[in-house]
Amino acid sequence: MATKAMLREQILAQLNKMDKATYEQRSQAIAEQLFQEAIWQNATTIGITIARFPEIATQAIIKRAWQDGKIVSIPETHNKTKTMQFRVYEDGDELCKKALGLYEPLESAPVLPKTKIDLLIVPGVLFRTDGYRIGFGGGFYDRYLEDYQGGTLSLCYPEQITTAFKPEPHDLPVQKLVIENNLK
């Protein structure tokens, strides 16, 4: 069985071949599917990342959350401790570019406690249909999810679904996958 690092590298190489127009179209289709989900509709506060290519784009999702009156929070990571916390992100807020090219909130943005986040949209590279995922390798989300009680889901392309890995004891699954064109 291939290692997580090998699997991660293979799927990212495949996704990186996508052209910009296709990427935007596919991201929008997945966002539209998300908006139909009860877990999205019922959430008043969401946690979400500012995605980078080839991750499914999140800017349209964030804008829709604001339009729907939801509170949006984005993660601030702490590389030394491999931990993160979510800070409120409002329209027009400035972001700073951090390690690995991630855009994160400024330290002046209010921290949102885990107990106040209804829905966490968890990024990933590969997914099993039971919700287990291979992330980007830092373990930030597995640590954060340990005592998180709200709803969790991940957005993914069909080619990100695999059976090629077994979860490790520290891995925590998301409750739902929103898979492109997998309308239920």
- Asked whether residue 128 is marked as a ligand-binding residue, the answer is no
Compute how many other C-beta atoms are within 10 angstroms of the C-beta atom of residue 108.
8
- Asked whether residue 127 is marked as a ligand-binding residue, the answer is no
- Asked whether residue 48 is marked as a ligand-binding residue, the answer is no
- Asked whether residue 4 is marked as a ligand-binding residue, the answer is yes
CA distance 64 to 73: 13
- Asked whether residue 139 is marked as a ligand-binding residue, the answer is yes
Yes or no: say if 23 and 57 are a contact pair by the CB < 8 Å rule.
yes
- Asked whether residue 138 is marked as a ligand-binding residue, the answer is yes
- Asked whether residue 140 is marked as a ligand-binding residue, the answer is yes
- Asked whether residue 86 is marked as a ligand-binding residue, the answer is no
- Asked whether residue 131 is marked as a ligand-binding residue, the answer is no
CA 74 centroid distance within chain: 10
Tell me the two tokens of residue 173.
């699954």
- Asked whether residue 135 is marked as a ligand-binding residue, the answer is yes
- Asked whether residue 98 is marked as a ligand-binding residue, the answer is no
Query: Tokens 């989900």 label which residue?
Result: 37
Q: What is the DSSP string of 104-173?
A: EE-TTSPEE-GGG-SEEE---SEE-TTS-EE-SSS-HHHHHHTT--SEEEEEE-GGGB-SS----TT---
Buried-exposed string 8-37: b where 16+ CB fall within 10 A, e elsewhere: beebeeebeebeeeebeebbeebbebbeeb
- Asked whether residue 150 is marked as a ligand-binding residue, the answer is no
- Asked whether residue 90 is marked as a ligand-binding residue, the answer is no
Task: Considering only the C-alpha atoms of the chain, give the largest distance between any 2 of them, rounded to a whole number of Å.
Answer: 46
Q: Which residues are annotated as a binding site for ATP?
A: 4-8, 133-141
Which residues does the annotation place in the binding site? Answer: 4-8, 50, 55, 133-141
Tell me the binding residues for substrate: 50, 55
